[in-house]
Amino acid sequence: MKPRGIPLPEQADIAFAALENCAVHGLPAPEIGTHGLTTNAVRILHREGRIRSYMFQLSYRVVEILVGPHKGKKTRGHPSPRARHHTVIDMQVRSTNGKVPRNYGARNRQKPSLSRIGENLTPA
Say whether pLDDT at 107 is over 60: no
Instruction: State pLDDT tens for residues 22-56.
Output: 999 999 999 888 887 888 899 999 999 999 999 98
**pLDDT (tens digit, 9 = 90+) per residue, 64-92?**
999 999 999 999 999 888 888 888 888 87
Q: Which residues contact 13 (CB under 8 A, 6 or more apart)?
A: none
Q: What is the pTM of this model?
A: 0.71
**d(C-alpha 120, C-alpha 18), whole Å:** 55
Residue ranges of domains in the chain:
8-121
- Whether the CA torsion 5, 9, 14, 18 is positive or negative: it is positive
